[in-house]
Amino acid sequence: MLNNPLGSWIVRWLTKEQPRKHPAPCDFERICHEIQPCDVLLIEGRSRVSEVIRVITQSPWSHSILYLGRIHDIQNEAVRERVSRMYEGKPSDPLVLEAMLGEGVIVCSLEKYYQEHIRICRPRGLTFVDKQRVVNHAISEVGKDYHLRQLLDLARLLLPWSFLPRRWRSVLFEHNVKENTKTVCSTVIFNAFSSVSFPVLPTIILDGDTGMRMFRLDPRLAVPRDFDYSPYFDIIKYPLVPIDESGFYRDLPWANENAEEGADDDQAAAIKPGEDLPAWTGESGN
Protein backbone atom coordinates (compact mmCIF):
# COMPACT_ATOMS: atom_id res chain seq x y z
CA MET A 1 0.00 0.00 0.00
CA LEU A 2 2.79 2.45 0.90
CA ASN A 3 4.81 1.83 -2.27
CA ASN A 4 2.27 3.28 -4.71
CA PRO A 5 1.51 6.99 -5.33
CA LEU A 6 -1.74 6.88 -3.35
CA GLY A 7 -0.02 5.17 -0.39
CA SER A 8 2.80 7.72 -0.47
CA TRP A 9 0.29 10.57 -0.45
CA ILE A 10 -1.53 9.04 2.52
CA VAL A 11 1.76 8.73 4.43
CA ARG A 12 2.62 12.38 3.74
CA TRP A 13 -0.86 13.45 4.84
CA LEU A 14 -0.67 11.42 8.05
CA THR A 15 2.85 12.52 9.00
CA LYS A 16 2.60 16.22 8.11
CA GLU A 17 3.48 18.24 11.21
CA GLN A 18 1.06 20.92 12.32
CA PRO A 19 2.68 24.25 13.30
CA ARG A 20 3.32 24.75 16.99
CA LYS A 21 1.39 27.72 18.40
CA HIS A 22 3.53 28.07 21.53
CA PRO A 23 7.04 27.06 22.57
CA ALA A 24 7.43 23.50 23.81
CA PRO A 25 7.44 23.52 27.66
CA CYS A 26 10.88 21.87 27.90
CA ASP A 27 14.45 23.13 27.71
CA PHE A 28 15.90 21.40 24.67
CA GLU A 29 19.44 22.68 25.24
CA ARG A 30 19.54 21.26 28.75
CA ILE A 31 18.06 17.98 27.55
CA CYS A 32 20.91 17.68 25.04
CA HIS A 33 23.41 18.37 27.82
CA GLU A 34 21.95 15.98 30.41
CA ILE A 35 20.76 13.06 28.27
CA GLN A 36 22.53 9.69 28.51
CA PRO A 37 22.78 6.70 26.13
CA CYS A 38 19.80 4.33 26.48
CA ASP A 39 17.47 7.07 27.70
CA VAL A 40 14.03 6.69 26.15
CA LEU A 41 12.58 9.98 24.93
CA LEU A 42 8.82 10.40 24.68
CA ILE A 43 7.56 12.83 22.06
CA GLU A 44 4.17 14.53 22.09
CA GLY A 45 4.01 14.85 18.31
CA ARG A 46 2.00 17.22 16.12
CA SER A 47 1.01 15.09 13.13
CA ARG A 48 -2.30 13.42 12.31
CA VAL A 49 -0.90 9.98 13.03
CA SER A 50 0.31 11.30 16.40
CA GLU A 51 -3.24 12.30 17.24
CA VAL A 52 -4.47 8.83 16.28
CA ILE A 53 -1.89 7.19 18.55
CA ARG A 54 -2.84 9.47 21.45
CA VAL A 55 -6.48 8.44 21.07
CA ILE A 56 -5.57 4.75 20.86
CA THR A 57 -3.27 4.79 23.90
CA GLN A 58 -5.12 7.43 25.96
CA SER A 59 -1.80 9.20 26.56
CA PRO A 60 -0.24 12.53 25.50
CA TRP A 61 2.85 10.66 24.22
CA SER A 62 2.58 9.52 20.62
CA HIS A 63 6.16 8.51 19.83
CA SER A 64 9.16 6.99 21.58
CA ILE A 65 12.80 7.15 20.50
CA LEU A 66 16.00 5.67 21.93
CA TYR A 67 19.00 7.89 22.54
CA LEU A 68 22.16 6.22 21.25
CA GLY A 69 24.69 8.88 22.21
CA ARG A 70 27.32 10.17 19.81
CA ILE A 71 29.13 7.85 17.43
CA HIS A 72 32.19 7.68 19.69
CA ASP A 73 29.96 6.53 22.58
CA ILE A 74 29.30 3.21 20.77
CA GLN A 75 31.90 0.73 22.02
CA ASN A 76 31.42 -2.07 19.48
CA GLU A 77 33.66 -1.24 16.52
CA ALA A 78 31.51 -2.99 13.91
CA VAL A 79 28.33 -1.29 15.16
CA ARG A 80 30.11 2.06 15.32
CA GLU A 81 31.29 1.72 11.71
CA ARG A 82 27.79 0.74 10.59
CA VAL A 83 26.30 3.85 12.19
CA SER A 84 29.04 5.98 10.61
CA ARG A 85 28.09 4.65 7.18
CA MET A 86 24.34 5.14 7.60
CA TYR A 87 24.49 8.60 9.21
CA GLU A 88 25.68 11.46 7.01
CA GLY A 89 25.89 14.16 9.68
CA LYS A 90 28.71 15.17 11.99
CA PRO A 91 30.29 12.50 14.24
CA SER A 92 29.61 14.77 17.23
CA ASP A 93 25.85 14.90 16.61
CA PRO A 94 23.62 13.35 19.33
CA LEU A 95 21.91 10.38 17.68
CA VAL A 96 18.56 8.70 18.26
CA LEU A 97 16.95 5.58 16.82
CA GLU A 98 13.29 5.52 15.88
CA ALA A 99 10.70 3.77 13.72
CA MET A 100 8.82 6.20 11.50
CA LEU A 101 5.83 5.72 9.24
CA GLY A 102 7.06 5.95 5.65
CA GLU A 103 10.73 5.62 6.66
CA GLY A 104 11.03 2.49 8.81
CA VAL A 105 13.70 2.12 11.51
CA ILE A 106 16.29 4.87 11.11
CA VAL A 107 19.08 6.69 12.92
CA CYS A 108 18.87 10.48 12.96
CA SER A 109 20.00 13.49 14.96
CA LEU A 110 18.25 14.51 18.17
CA GLU A 111 18.15 18.03 16.70
CA LYS A 112 15.15 16.86 14.70
CA TYR A 113 13.06 17.27 17.86
CA TYR A 114 14.29 20.63 19.10
CA GLN A 115 10.79 22.14 18.85
CA GLU A 116 8.98 19.21 20.46
CA HIS A 117 7.71 18.49 23.94
CA ILE A 118 10.11 15.81 25.24
CA ARG A 119 10.19 13.69 28.38
CA ILE A 120 13.22 11.62 29.40
CA CYS A 121 12.65 8.10 30.74
CA ARG A 122 15.91 6.72 32.17
CA PRO A 123 16.26 2.98 32.90
CA ARG A 124 17.13 2.66 36.58
CA GLY A 125 20.28 0.70 37.43
CA LEU A 126 21.11 -0.38 33.88
CA THR A 127 24.84 -1.19 33.73
CA PHE A 128 27.22 0.31 31.19
CA VAL A 129 27.76 -3.08 29.53
CA ASP A 130 24.03 -3.70 29.19
CA LYS A 131 23.51 -0.17 27.85
CA GLN A 132 25.88 -1.04 25.03
CA ARG A 133 24.00 -4.28 24.40
CA VAL A 134 20.70 -2.42 24.23
CA VAL A 135 22.17 0.07 21.75
CA ASN A 136 23.67 -2.72 19.63
CA HIS A 137 20.37 -4.62 19.54
CA ALA A 138 18.42 -1.51 18.57
CA ILE A 139 20.85 -0.64 15.76
CA SER A 140 20.49 -4.18 14.39
CA GLU A 141 16.85 -3.28 13.66
CA VAL A 142 17.76 -0.39 11.35
CA GLY A 143 16.28 -0.85 7.90
CA LYS A 144 13.09 -2.63 8.95
CA ASP A 145 9.84 -1.23 7.60
CA TYR A 146 7.23 0.47 9.76
CA HIS A 147 4.48 -1.98 10.61
CA LEU A 148 1.33 0.03 9.90
CA ARG A 149 -0.82 -3.09 10.18
CA GLN A 150 0.43 -3.63 13.74
CA LEU A 151 -0.64 -0.11 14.67
CA LEU A 152 -4.12 -0.67 13.24
CA ASP A 153 -4.41 -4.05 14.95
CA LEU A 154 -3.33 -2.52 18.25
CA ALA A 155 -6.10 0.06 17.89
CA ARG A 156 -8.67 -2.66 17.28
CA LEU A 157 -7.35 -4.62 20.25
CA LEU A 158 -7.27 -1.73 22.76
CA LEU A 159 -10.48 0.05 21.81
CA PRO A 160 -13.77 -1.54 22.93
CA TRP A 161 -15.10 -2.34 19.50
CA SER A 162 -16.70 -5.66 20.40
CA PHE A 163 -19.57 -4.96 18.03
CA LEU A 164 -17.22 -5.21 15.02
CA PRO A 165 -17.56 -8.29 12.80
CA ARG A 166 -14.96 -10.94 13.62
CA ARG A 167 -13.21 -10.44 10.27
CA TRP A 168 -12.52 -6.80 11.25
CA ARG A 169 -11.13 -7.56 14.71
CA SER A 170 -7.49 -7.58 15.69
CA VAL A 171 -5.17 -10.23 14.26
CA LEU A 172 -2.24 -8.96 16.31
CA PHE A 173 -1.40 -12.40 17.71
CA GLU A 174 -1.85 -14.37 14.53
CA HIS A 175 1.49 -15.73 13.30
CA ASN A 176 2.73 -14.42 9.96
CA VAL A 177 6.26 -15.33 8.90
CA LYS A 178 6.39 -12.39 6.50
CA GLU A 179 5.90 -9.78 9.24
CA ASN A 180 9.24 -10.27 11.04
CA THR A 181 10.82 -7.51 8.94
CA LYS A 182 8.36 -4.85 10.14
CA THR A 183 8.00 -3.09 13.48
CA VAL A 184 6.82 0.07 15.28
CA CYS A 185 8.67 2.53 17.51
CA SER A 186 7.86 1.16 20.98
CA THR A 187 8.30 -2.45 19.90
CA VAL A 188 11.86 -1.77 18.70
CA ILE A 189 12.82 -0.20 22.03
CA PHE A 190 10.96 -2.79 24.10
CA ASN A 191 12.80 -5.62 22.33
CA ALA A 192 16.15 -3.89 22.84
CA PHE A 193 15.64 -3.74 26.62
CA SER A 194 14.27 -7.28 26.67
CA SER A 195 17.53 -8.47 25.11
CA VAL A 196 19.24 -7.80 28.48
CA SER A 197 16.18 -8.89 30.54
CA PHE A 198 15.48 -5.33 31.68
CA PRO A 199 11.80 -4.97 32.67
CA VAL A 200 9.71 -2.30 30.99
CA LEU A 201 6.18 -2.99 32.19
CA PRO A 202 5.92 -6.63 33.30
CA THR A 203 2.80 -8.26 34.69
CA ILE A 204 3.41 -9.37 38.29
CA ILE A 205 1.50 -12.31 39.76
CA LEU A 206 1.55 -13.03 43.51
CA ASP A 207 1.10 -16.73 44.18
CA GLY A 208 0.90 -18.12 47.72
CA ASP A 209 2.70 -21.30 46.70
CA THR A 210 5.38 -20.11 44.29
CA GLY A 211 5.77 -16.50 45.45
CA MET A 212 6.08 -13.64 42.97
CA ARG A 213 6.33 -14.28 39.26
CA MET A 214 6.92 -11.76 36.46
CA PHE A 215 5.64 -12.08 32.89
CA ARG A 216 6.94 -9.96 30.03
CA LEU A 217 4.52 -7.82 28.07
CA ASP A 218 4.17 -8.96 24.48
CA PRO A 219 6.38 -6.54 22.49
CA ARG A 220 3.60 -6.01 19.95
CA LEU A 221 1.48 -4.42 22.69
CA ALA A 222 4.14 -1.90 23.71
CA VAL A 223 3.15 1.78 23.43
CA PRO A 224 5.03 5.00 24.33
CA ARG A 225 3.14 5.52 27.59
CA ASP A 226 4.56 2.22 28.97
CA PHE A 227 7.96 3.86 29.52
CA ASP A 228 6.32 6.77 31.34
CA TYR A 229 4.20 4.46 33.51
CA SER A 230 6.92 1.88 34.21
CA PRO A 231 8.33 1.88 37.79
CA TYR A 232 11.70 0.84 36.34
CA PHE A 233 12.30 4.11 34.50
CA ASP A 234 13.03 7.41 36.22
CA ILE A 235 11.13 10.36 34.75
CA ILE A 236 13.33 13.41 34.20
CA LYS A 237 11.96 16.81 33.20
CA TYR A 238 13.77 20.01 32.25
CA PRO A 239 11.09 22.72 31.97
CA LEU A 240 11.50 25.72 29.70
CA VAL A 241 11.07 27.95 32.75
CA PRO A 242 13.08 26.06 35.39
CA ILE A 243 12.49 26.03 39.14
CA ASP A 244 15.84 24.78 40.37
CA GLU A 245 16.17 26.90 43.50
CA SER A 246 13.94 27.35 46.52
CA GLY A 247 11.53 30.24 46.03
CA PHE A 248 12.47 30.78 42.38
CA TYR A 249 8.84 30.28 41.36
CA ARG A 250 8.15 33.78 42.75
CA ASP A 251 10.13 35.24 39.85
CA LEU A 252 8.33 33.42 37.04
CA PRO A 253 7.32 35.74 34.15
CA TRP A 254 3.57 35.79 34.75
CA ALA A 255 1.76 38.13 32.34
CA ASN A 256 -0.19 39.84 35.14
CA GLU A 257 2.67 40.34 37.61
CA ASN A 258 2.51 44.16 37.33
CA ALA A 259 -1.25 44.38 37.79
CA GLU A 260 -0.95 45.88 41.29
CA GLU A 261 1.51 48.52 40.07
CA GLY A 262 -0.95 50.12 37.66
CA ALA A 263 -0.09 48.19 34.51
CA ASP A 264 -2.40 48.55 31.51
CA ASP A 265 -5.56 46.51 31.81
CA ASP A 266 -4.91 44.78 28.46
CA GLN A 267 -1.46 43.61 29.61
CA ALA A 268 -2.45 42.63 33.13
CA ALA A 269 -5.71 40.87 32.33
CA ALA A 270 -5.81 37.13 32.76
CA ILE A 271 -6.01 35.02 29.63
CA LYS A 272 -9.56 33.90 28.99
CA PRO A 273 -10.36 30.26 28.17
CA GLY A 274 -9.84 29.55 24.47
CA GLU A 275 -7.43 32.46 23.90
CA ASP A 276 -3.88 31.94 22.68
CA LEU A 277 -1.17 32.38 25.28
CA PRO A 278 1.70 34.78 24.49
CA ALA A 279 5.05 33.11 23.83
CA TRP A 280 7.52 33.42 26.70
CA THR A 281 10.58 35.41 25.68
CA GLY A 282 12.73 34.74 28.72
CA GLU A 283 12.46 38.34 30.02
CA SER A 284 11.26 38.89 33.54
CA GLY A 285 9.10 41.87 32.61
CA ASN A 286 10.64 44.16 35.28
Residue-wise pLDDT tens for the chain (286 aa)? 456 676 677 667 777 888 888 889 999 999 999 999 999 999 998 877 778 778 877 889 989 999 999 999 999 999 999 999 999 999 999 999 998 877 889 999 999 999 999 999 999 999 999 999 999 999 999 988 765 554 555 455 455 544 445 444 444 334 444 444 445 678 899 999 999 999 998 888 887 777 788 888 887 788 899 999 999 999 999 998 887 777 778 888 888 745 555 444 444 444 555 555 555 444 444 4
- The CATH code for residues 15-236 is 3.90.1720.10
* CA distances to 163, 264, 269, 284 from 254, in Å: 50, 14, 11, 8
CA 224 to chain centre: 6
**Is-contact 147 182, C-beta < 8 A?**
yes
Residues 6 or more apart whose Cβ sits within 8 Å of residue 249: 243
Facing residues of 119 across strands?
A: 42
Give the up-direction half-sphere exposure of residue 30: CA atoms within 13 A in the CB hemisphere: 14
**Is-contact 51 62, C-beta < 8 A?**
yes
The pTM is what?
A: 0.76
Q: Where, residue-wise, is CATH 3.90.1720.10 in the chain?
A: 15-236
Residue 283 amino acid letter: E
Question: What is the spatial distance between Cα 193 and Cα 126, in angstroms, rounded to a whole number?
Answer: 10
Rama region for 262: left / alpha / beta (φ>0; ψ in -120 to 50; rest)? left
Question: What is the spatial distance between Cα 152 and Cα 279, in angstroms, rounded to a whole number?
Answer: 37
